[in-house]
Structure 1
Amino acid sequence: MPRAKRLVGLAIVALAGSVGAVPAQARAPEPDPAYTITVDPRGAGTAIPDTMYGVFFEDINFAADGGLYGELVRNRSFEFLPVDNQAYTGLTAWTPVGTGGTATTVNDDARLNERNRTYLNLALSTVEGGGYGVTNSGWNTGFALKAGGRYDFSVWARTDAAAGTPLGVTLHDTSGAALAAPIAFTVRGNSWSKYTGTLTAWRDTDAGRLSVRAAGTGTLKLDMISLFPRDTFRNRANGLRRDLAEKIAALKPGFVRFPGGCLVNTNSHYGYDAASNYERSRSYQWKDTVGPVEERATNRNFWGYNQSYGLGYFEYFQFSEDIGAMPLPVVPALVTGCGQNRATNDEALLQRHIQDTLDLVEFANGPVSSTWGGLRARMGHPKPFGLTHVAVGNEENLPDQYFANFLRFRAAIEARYPTVTVVGNSGPDDTGATFDRLWALNREAGVDMVDEHYYNTPGWFLQNNARYDSYDRAGPKVFLGEFASQDNKLFNSLAEAHYMTGLERNADVVQMAAYAPLLANIDHVQWRPDLIWFDNDESWGTTSYQMQKLFMNNVGDRTVPSRFTGPVIQPRGITGAVGLSTWATAARYDDVQVTGTDGAVLFRDDFANGAGQWTSVEPRGAWSVVDGQYQQSDTAALDTLVKAGNITATDYDLTLKATKLSGAEGFLVAFGVQDSGELYWWNLGGWNNTQGAIQKGAGGSKSIVIAKPNSVEAGVTYDIRIEVRGTTVRLFLNGQEWGSFTDDQVSQPFAQVVTRDDRTGELIVKVVNAQDTPAVTRIDLGRQRVRDTARMTVITGDPGEQNTRSGEPIQPVTSNVRVGSAFTRTYPPNSVTFLRIRTR
């Protein structure tokens, strides 16, 4: 369905700041440049790998079933069960229709196969009229169909009726009106057989339904009821939804990391042998996902739903090949991450996972005469996929246990496949004890590449452009496997672009980087932000999608040395309100006081007269004064922040008493709380009461400043003191110093990098201006002779704007502009500008 599109904030004058003939009429003199960019076009620079930017696919936000995977039927094999999600049954998305029968889901010896255990049992009596059966409602609002589109139906069926069982298949809308000519079969025999047919849609709809009805008597068993669009990406059977795959392909990614993410290494203490295969909470096992789709397992997804594995390892490899990207699979290391802190002590299970990884390389690269290479060939791809990298593990929180297993995997892979790079990781954050320990272990062991992950505020990205400037050039390379600024507004995308100029400048260290997550179904969201959003028939790219596409389509082959000068924003002292909060916890607070260094009381509340000084930042939780203490009693509420006071001094002490009553975590004490949403808070007993941290927040998102192991005991009163001195903070718990930090990083809203495209001979000057004022900039290309016309692409607009289903206002605009060996350009507020300058 078409969506209105509009362009805002894109009034760009094509020749503004150009050099050339001056018109006859006088014009106002240009302002003096605030910034200068000096380029050394003959400098050596740094080679940028073809894999510099890629995509990370994880089955989160219903990204696979109901998303990238083309299947239109939801719960096609009746395997949705309460173990996947408490709201699920075997008939989730199915509704019995008609009279003269009953519909149940069954798991017994008559099952389709050992991997596909639950099926639909229709007990039929004499049926008149339209028959008895079930209707599937599909995803979101229903089946998305296009007029003239062909849709391949298939079902596995068996019957105990001697004369066979008539079976009719229809596509219709919610009122029952037909959307295609029906098809019919007669199911014969009491063993499983596959029946197929094609339906051609008569009109467009996003709310279609599929009904399968039987007539007669006896028992009819059905499984794997499927409706697949013929129009998939590259027209592949069991293929991918075209619009989503094309949006990913348009990024021109250098690699595809798959299949996760947290779903890879969670619950990894489970195997999948005969005893535990049906535990339905085992870790992701690649062997579950290959071979005929009706023989693939289904599994409980870490993100709270069922995953069918119709989109499996063969399809991931094939998609990577189709879009010219390097495949990068991630395998479980048998140490859980993502909030689960467990490591296997089952040697046999560890050995099996190591062997599975060796078999994975054989599946990708082995000859057709090998066991797993032969399976690849039978699936339609005799040519090897050319796998070069394998990542072991994801965001493990037990660094020593993880790394011991990692070394076992690496030794086995390198012994058999010495040309395959084995990628380690550094845990779930950009800093902290786990990060430091894992990096030390990776360096000591000479690991080739280390996977870093972080999701932070826009301010963090603006302040950390130089993060990789100081990394050891001789140490492990960096794979930035997951990163994003924590929202989907243009300002987040500007901060990401700002940071990416630093990634390119350090391309000798950062070899690969991927925004994450990739996809989100608007009706099924477990994580934000995301790059591409969709429903059942539409998809739209966020502002970050447009930014990533701009960078990924204009990488260049090497950096060109450049430097710039310009004003910076100096850090200021930490001022603002103080705050109290909880997260899935009941707690109480008392004797809150802020005292200046001269002893003056700047704020005080012992709650003897109620809590009238406090206001809720958001209406969450159940706050009340109980026995002279301020108490939040709702253990289900998250982020219950209340604030009071307005501390304008930059040197002060905040003291209070805090007591956990019950719940999953500890308590949160905030300071420097601004109306804009900026704040710092001390999170004690966070992450399910395993870790403490100072987090810096802005725009509803938070970045970790410092973190260390910590837990809070219920019923114990803790004395808290936070000592603020300008930008330096010391934290005291029960009189003992817990930690300290200084937040004195300057913020530079302007960033640039220059690269060269060897094929075209173009210099690509990339400039980010992440502020509300124009940036008048002098660009000096040295003695490089250039053609006088360059191609300019700009993304700009209201920094609070975002692209949504109702409109995508943030789009790139391309024009031709005049340039020279030295010229002045005015970069618009809140903009990213790429100039492709042809050299002579």
Structure 2
Amino acid sequence: MRANRRRTAAATSALLAGVLCAVPAAAPASAATEYGIDVDTAAAGPQISDRMYGIFLEDINHAADGGLYAELVQNRSFEYSTADNENYTPMTSWEEVATGNAAGNAKVVNDDGRLHERNRNYLRLALPADGGEYGVVNSGYSTGITVSEGKRYDFSVWAKAPGRGATPLRVRLRDAQGEPLAEPLTLDADERGWARYSGTLTASSSSTTGRLAVTGSGGGSLSLDMVSLFPRDTFKGRENGLREDIAQKIAALDPGFVRFPGGCLVNTGSHEAYEGPDWPRERSYQWKDTVGPVEERAANHNFWGYNQSYGLGYYEYFQFAEDLGAMPLPVVPAMVTGCGENRATDAPELLQRHIQDTLDLIEFANGPADSAWGSLRAEMGHPEPFGLTHVQVGNEENLPDAFFERFAKFRGAIEAEYPGITVIGNSGPASGGTVFERAWELNRQHDVELVDEHYYNSPEWFLSNNERYDSYDREGPKVYLGEFASQGNRFSNALAEAAYMTGLERNADVVEMASYAPLLAAAWDTQWTPDMIWFDNSTTWGSANYEVQRLFSANTGDSVVPSTATGTPGAAGPITGAVGLSTWNTSAEYDDVRVTSAEGETLLSDDFSSGADGWTHITGAGTWAVENGAYVQTETTGENTMVTAGDSGWTDYDLEVTATKREGAEGFLIGFGVRGTDDYYWWNLGGWNNTQSAVERTSGGAKSLVVSDDTTIEAGRAYDIRVEVRGRDATLYLDGEKWGGFTAPTPEPFRQVVTRDERTGELIVKVVNAQGEAARTSIDLGGARVEPTAELTVLSADPAAENTADDRPVSPETSTIEGADSSFIHTFPAHSVTVMRLTPQD
């Protein structure tokens, strides 16, 4: 049992930093919906894994360099390149600096004089001989280097000064205006070749715009590499460590596991081995590049469009997991690309090398200190094994058959040598569709123990799919929900996720682990949103989503107590809205649009013989024109070119249209239930670069997949399309044949789950009320007697609220209520997540 499962009510209050006060039981509100929760306290539900909630740490949004990794110098080894980012050069974040009129020269060099074969570039300075100083200054990340008065900062550099005596190095910390932030540091570089020099700077004042200058004097040549500045105060005091405030934010989640290092950067790009100074810069993440002395580690192009130094490497990831008390979960390349790419590596020798690399990784983590790779771990400071139990092979592969062919070889080799290791598979990049279905079929065929699912869907999807895992096979593979998030950082997103998480816990016999993603984001350069924890150079803050994850992690419980709740009256409604036509990076033409009611009344008929005046172009993308009696979108660019016609109040109708693809990457998009630019369904025929077709639902601007298959679209061929809408049901026909259909899921704003803390006996009642009315709720504990005083922890805010660097409107408040009993009434606020801890009577 993990520590957070044992937490008392008082400890939970302290963790969540709430405001403790005694308040009377909530009175019925005038605008409240009536609910009931029945708890079967005599029944036993499934056990909940000690690692139910964990974290997924990928270097996206500058999560590592410039973020969690505490190094303050950007581009410390002059390795930045246009291969990383078109705006990068080896001198990115560096400028030349001189005292007075001193003359010098700075040149980034890539030759045999380098520090290490993997550390390709270094800086060569020609120094002035007239007593002046010349060198370079680094501006850090974003606005500059953040320092705090009285804090110590550890400087180091690798330097060589060939053919001469000692060369004085002067190290200074200044702000953007040139004002000193610390007393200068003087070091002497000698002529013994590359050597590491270090010292400590103590900040005399605070700044967020610091600059680090390194200069030399006395003439001759001075070479520099690995120019570094670390705060002395890192997480757990680790050398080459982690930024303390960000790491503490993560630690507050009390994660059960840490998945690393990706994500898309694991299995995209080249899989080639290191081949010397000119090896490919767009390589997959390979663990052997990231261990050993920091100055000997490679730098690499990051899939997300910047450089990664590998200063935060596999050793540091394992160490961080250990410091958190969490299970490490590394992910290795499967030799099949994912994340939008469709390519499998066929070279047998390369495949075998990666399989051996994975076996070596397990030895690095678990092998004795005198084994080949265990000895490296010991040399790095950790003679004891890390206790690795799980390895994931691959991530979001779009070619499930090719993936499983290779996955089976990885798993076979791992289980033969390390039978105690669990090898995790995956199901592709979405919550459904042809890749997902085929991947799950193969996972079952191969008796995979744990399957990683990923999906990023709309809040409406999460509110509508709480029962997703109710129907999963209890005898089949278990689920690791490795990446999930609703598409936004507003409190409404967090509410939808909380509602969904009650279903994860209720199905704890199927769902073993879950992790929100992405974890971290630099406010100054973000490649993906939403994100759980945000930071700038001096501050970190948890999003509304973070507060939900922290609340659930602190109050998971050990086992589920079966319970049921009444639904929200009127939550279900028909598919309602106008019709639409659109394209995605494709030119297409449409003709003979006809909409008729279920009773046969003509609502719309347009053959475009008289133009297209009845249609409104609502997105601005693309160019529409009537050509030869058809309505044509003429451009092959533009990701949504939608035009609409009709009444937003339409329901129970048939839509018919003839569509022809002219040219471009995809097919065509037929909209129905269109209620605005961010609220509609569309039938996406020939989507995803013409690899599949699907119905997608857009709500609040966020898309979710409803149903899909592998239909593709031919250019130049006319297709007859028919969509029948009846209430919440839609049936779709292509060329007279039924393509598929669905019943629109019902968003349910009121969700609950009850669990038990086995140490204290407490019942933990988690209730999500994601609507604008309070929920007056009768709670029946089936005769179980509890103490009248109960603790509440509540997140409640405007649904549009977002936490920022300066404002935290979404934060927990803790209080007590009186009047709890075997049956009692409590009113849950509108737009709220509530944890109620009920203590059993002796």
TM-score range normalised by the length of the shorter chain: over 0.9
**Could you tell me the percent identity over the aligned residues?**
58
For the 8 Å contact 2:593–2:658, the answer to whether it is kept is yes
2:90 paired with 1:109? no
2:238 is equivalent to residue 229 of structure 1 = no
Query: Quick one: distance in 2 between partners of 1:631 and 1:164?
Result: 75
Change (3 A) 1:837 1:110: same
Give distance in 2, aligned partners of 1:624 and 1:209: 56
Post-superposition offset of 1:37: 1.3
The alignment of Structure 1 onto Structure 2 pairs a total of residues equal to 820
Aligned to 1:25: none
CA distance in 2, matches of 1:704, 1:624: 30
Structure 2 match to 1:303: 304
- The answer to whether the Cα contact below 8 Å between 1:607 and 1:629 also exists between their aligned partners in 2 is yes
Give 1:618 shift: 4.5
Contact 1:35 1:776 in 2 (8 A): yes
The residue number in structure 2 matching 1:151 is 153
Q: Quick one: structure 1 residues 571 and 149, their matched pair in 2 at CA, closer, same or farther if it must change by over 3 Å?
A: same
Shift of 1:336: 1.0
Who is 1:776 aligned against? 776
Per-residue deviation, 1:126: 4.1
Gaps of 5+ in 1: 1-6, 19-27
The aligned counterpart of 1:413 is 414
- Distance of 1:625 and 1:149 partners within structure 2: 69
Structure 1 residue aligned with 2:10 = none
Question: In the alignment, what sits opposite 1:194?
Answer: 196
Could you tell me which residue of structure 1 aligns to residue 246 of structure 2?
Answer: 244
1:377 deviates by 1.0
Match of residue 364 from structure 1:
365
Q: Is the 8 A contact 2:335 2:344 kept in 1?
A: yes
* Aligned pairs for 1:146-185 within 5 A: 146-185=148-187
Which segment is superposed worse, 32-41 or 444-453? 32-41
For 1:221 and 1:401, the matched residues in 2 are separated by 48
- Matched position secondary structure for 1:50: coil
The residue type paired with residue 508 of structure 1 is D
Task: Find the counterpart in structure 2 of residue 763 from structure 1.
Answer: 763
User: Which residue identity does 2:412 align to in structure 1?
Assistant: A
Q: Equivalent residue for 1:800?
A: 800
SS of residue in 2 equivalent to 1:66: coil
- Which secondary structure does the structure 2 equivalent of 1:500 belong to? helix
- Distance in 2 (CA, whole Å) between partners of 1:209 and 1:29 is 57
In 2, distance between residues paired with 1:619 and 1:806?
A: 35
SS of match in other structure, 1:825: strand
Flag the 1:179–1:586 CA change in 2: closer, same or farther, 3 A: farther
Unaligned runs of 5+ in 2: 1-15
**1:265 aligns to 2:267 (yes or no):** yes
**Counterpart residue number, 2:11:** none
Task: Look up the SS of the partner of 1:67 in the other structure.
Answer: coil
Task: Work out which of the residue numbers 24, 36, 54 in structure 2 matches 1:15.
Answer: 24
> Following superposition of structure 1 onto structure 2, how do residues 110-129 of structure 1 map, counting pairs within 5 Å?
110-126=113-129, 129=132
CA 597–564 in structure 1, closer or farther in 2 if over 3 Å, else same: closer
The equivalences for 1:813-824 within 5 A come to 813-818=813-818, 819-824=820-825
The 3 A distance-change label for structure 1 pair 421 and 569 is: farther
Who is 1:93 aligned against?
93
Report which stretch shifted further, 116-125 or 395-404. Answer: 116-125
Contact 1:146 1:204 in 2 (8 A): yes
Q: 1:457 — aligned with what? A: 458
Q: Please give the per-residue CA displacement for 1:442-491, whole angstroms capped at 9, x wherever unaligned.
A: 11221111111111111111111111111111111111111111111111
CA distance in 1, matches of 2:277, 2:283: 8
Matched-pair contact (CA < 8 Å) for 1:802–1:809: yes
Aligned to 1:21: none
For residues 686 and 523 of structure 1, do their structure 2 counterparts lie closer, same or farther at Cα, with a shift above 3 Å needed? farther
Change (3 A) 1:91 1:761: same
Instruction: Tell me the secondary structure at the aligned position of residue 647 of structure 2.
Output: strand
Q: Name the CA distance, whole Å, in 1 between partners of 2:792 and 2:130.
A: 69
Tell me the residue number matched to 2:840. 839
- Displacement of 1:609 in angstroms is 6.1
C-alpha deviation, 1:195, in angstroms: 1.2
Matches within 5 A, 1:5-44: 14-17=23-26, 34-44=34-44
**Distance (whole Å) between structure 2 residues aligned to residue 623 and residue 139 of structure 1:** 45
Cα distance in 1 for partners of 2:249, 2:86 equals: 34
In structure 2, C-alpha distance between the alignment counterparts of 1:529 and 1:388, rounded to whole Å: 30
Give the partner amino acid of 1:109. D
CA displacement 1:300-334 (0-9 Å, x = unmatched) = 11111111111111111111111111111111111
Q: 1:622, CA displacement in angstroms?
A: 5.2
Matches within 5 A, 1:650-799: 650-658=651-659, 660=661, 663-675=664-676, 677-712=678-713, 718-733=719-734, 735=735, 737=737, 739-799=739-799
Any conservation in 2 of the 1:72–1:228 contact (CA below 8 Å)? yes
Amino acid of the structure 2 residue aligned with 1:142: G
Q: Structure 2: how far apart are the matches of 1:224 and 1:15? A: 61
Residues 356-755 of structure 1: pairs in structure 2 closer than 5 A:
356-569=357-570, 571-587=572-588, 589-597=590-598, 599-605=600-606, 612-621=613-622, 637-658=638-659, 660=661, 663-675=664-676, 677-712=678-713, 718-733=719-734, 735=735, 737=737, 739-755=739-755
**CA offset at residue 665 of structure 1?**
3.8
CA distance in 1, matches of 2:667, 2:189: 60
Q: Residues of 2 paired with 1:413 and 1:637: CA distance?
A: 46
Q: Following TM superposition, by how much is the alpha carbon of 1:437 offset from its aligned partner in structure 2, in angstroms? A: 1.4
| Aligned residue in 2 for 1:71 | 71
Question: In structure 2, the residue corresponding to 1:243 is in which secondary structure?
Answer: helix
User: How big is each residue's C-alpha offset from its partner over 1:481-537, in whole Å with a ceiling of 9 and x where there is no partner?
Assistant: 111111111111111111111111111111101111101111211111111111111
Report deviation, 1:600: 4.0
Residue matched to 1:255: 257
Task: Indicate how the Cα distance of structure 1 residues 324 and 716 shifts in structure 2: closer, same or farther if over 3 A, else same.
Answer: same
Pair 29,422 (structure 1): closer, same or farther in 2 beyond 3 Å = closer
The 8 Å contact of residues 461 and 747 in structure 2, kept in 1 or not, is answered as no
Pair 1:737–1:189, CA change in 2 (3 A): farther
State the 1:661 CA deviation. Answer: 5.5
SS at match of 1:245: helix
Deviations 1:75-103 (A, max 9, x none): 11111111111111111111223352232
Conservation of the 8 A alpha-carbon contact between 1:270 and 1:276: no
- Relative to structure 1, the CA distance from residue 568 to residue 33 in structure 2 (aligned partners, 3 Å threshold; closer, same or farther) is closer
Residue 500 of structure 1 aligns with an amino acid whose one-letter code is M
RMSD: 2.6
In 2, the alpha carbon distance for the partners of 1:206 and 1:255 equals 33
Cα offset for 1:197?
Answer: 1.3
Counterpart in the other structure of 1:4: none
Q: Residues of 1 paired with 2:534 and 2:290: CA distance?
A: 25
Deviation at 1:593, TM superposition (A): 4.0
Cα deviation for residue 626 of structure 1 reads 6.5
Secondary structure at the counterpart of residue 547 of structure 2: helix
Provide Cα deviations, 1:92-117, integer angstroms capped at 9, x if missing partner.
11122335223232211111111111
TM-score (norm 1): 0.93
CA 1:226–1:642 in 2, change beyond 3 Å: closer, same or farther? farther
Match of 2:12 in 1: none
Closer/same/farther in 2, CA of residues 11 and 157 from structure 1, 3 Å limit? closer
- The answer to whether the 8 A contact 1:595-1:654 is kept is yes
SS in 2 for 1:512: strand
Taking a change above 3 Å as real, the CA distance of residues 626 and 197 of structure 1, as seen in their structure-2 partners, is farther
| CA-CA distance at 1:259 after TM superposition | 0.7
CA distance in 1, matches of 2:535, 2:641: 31
- In the alignment, is the contact (CA less than 8 A) between 1:583 and 1:665 conserved in 2? yes
Q: Deviations over 1:187-232 (max 9, x none)?
A: 2226211111111112221111112222243332211111111111
For residues 124-143 of structure 1, what are the structure 2 equivalents within 5 Å?
A: 124-126=127-129, 129=132, 131-143=133-145
Cα distance 1:401–1:556, how it changes in 2: closer, same or farther (>3 A)?
A: same
- The verdict on how the C-alpha distance between 1:606 and 1:538 changes in structure 2, with shifts beyond 3 A counting, is farther
Q: Which residue of structure 1 aligns with residue 321 of structure 2?
A: 320
In structure 2, distance between residues paired with 1:681 and 1:12? 50
